[in-house]
Amino acid sequence: MSEPGQQPTPVPDAKSGNWVDRYAPDWLKPYARLARWDRPIGFYLLFWPCAWGLGLAAIANPALGFDWWGAVLMLVGAILMRGAGCTFNDIVDRDIDMQVARTRLRPIPSGQVTARDALAFLIAQALLGSVVLFQFNRFTVWAGVASLVLVAIYPFMKRVTWWPQAFLGLAFSYGALVGWSSQTGGLGWAPVLLYAGTILWVIGYDTIYALQDVEDDALVGVKSTARLFGEHVKPAVATLYAGAFVLWNVAALLAGSGIVFAALSLVAVALFTWQVWTVDAAVPDNPRFRFDSNKYVGIVIALALLAEWVW
């Protein structure tokens, strides 16, 4: 922690030694970091709700089965759109990022990429993402286009509400609806409840992530649920995770699942319990490590849905 009156020492937003540092050509590295290709956790978390929507649709219509090719397309789309979203976020937040120790070395505030070049990179990623989206039915295409509104407003929410994580949840959980509608051409209560549960999950894990920036956020006036919950952050996140688990199970039941999903999804409860019980913002990298473990939650729920379909 810095002495009073001193600026915090800049720290990298990601650990060095990742594949971008090792293998990417020098000209590509700033753009790869802008899109967070060096930190795949983001597109994992964006992709898993898509896979869940596909899995839920497979349970509802076992004869149709799980759309593996659709999952591949959605993974590619998640990488592209997560990169585009991060690029847009960095363009909007470039002044704030200069004042936060963890983000000060990002490509735009550090001068590695200009805002104009970042905008061109954003457009390129969005265009490639639209190519993926247009592989699906019309309803899914329009649903995907509608989600861009959420992506566009999210970076501004930390300036106006204590609940920016809720807006991230609305955007990052959208794959649950896209995955289902890509198979059915519409929506229903099962995917809507899956979406609602996933929103609670995102708010929970991003609150843990935001614990890293509480002091800097307070200095620059950025709002977050981590600051809002304060000393009650553990019970608050536990409540969000519990709500997510209940809604996921209700969604699965409405789609026609049985004991298999209910039993296997308990592994996610164990992961949630560990995160909440052991999270400690005072320990370096502790919140980020618990945040990262949510990729395993994604895997668990996906496998539970697949096992229920196979069963």
Give the H or E element holding residue 99.
none
Q: Are 225 and 112 in contact (CB under 8 A)?
A: no
CA distance 54 to 63: 13
What's the chain's length in residues?
Answer: 311
* Buried-exposed string 246-255: b where 16+ CB fall within 10 A, e elsewhere: ebbbbbbebb
Q: And the tokens for 187?
A: 């929506």
Give the pLDDT of residue 17.
Answer: 61
Nearest to 248 by CA among 197, 296, 213, 210: 197
> Could you tell me the CA-to-CA distances from 48 to 54, 74, 201, 215, 309 in Å, in that order?
10, 9, 12, 31, 17
Q: And the tokens for 298?
A: 């994604």
Q: Summarize the chain as % helix, strand, coil (round to 5).
A: 75, 0, 25
Nearest to 248 by CA among 183, 181, 199, 182: 199
Give the pLDDT of residue 1.
Answer: 34
> Could you tell me the CA-to-CA distances from 52 to 103, 165, 256 in Å, in that order?
32, 21, 14
CA distance 104 to 196: 34
* Buried-exposed string 176-205: b where 16+ CB fall within 10 A, e elsewhere: bbbbbbbbbeeebebbbbbbbbbbbbbbbb
- Per-residue pLDDT of the chain (311 residues), as tens digits, is 333 333 333 345 555 567 777 777 888 888 888 888 888 888 899 999 999 999 999 999 998 899 999 999 999 999 999 898 889 888 887 877 777 777 777 888 888 888 899 999 999 999 999 999 999 999 999 998 988 888 888 888 888 899 999 999 999 899 999 999 999 999 999 999 999 999 999 999 999 999 988 887 787 788 899 999 999 999 999 999 999 999 999 999 999 998 999 999 999 999 999 999 999 988 988 999 999 999 999 999 999 999 999 98
Give the pLDDT of residue 3.
Answer: 36
How many CA atoms, within 13 angstroms, populate the side-chain half-sphere of residue 27? 1
Give the pLDDT of residue 111.
Answer: 83
Burial class (CB in 10 A: 0-12, 13-18, 19+), 69: exposed
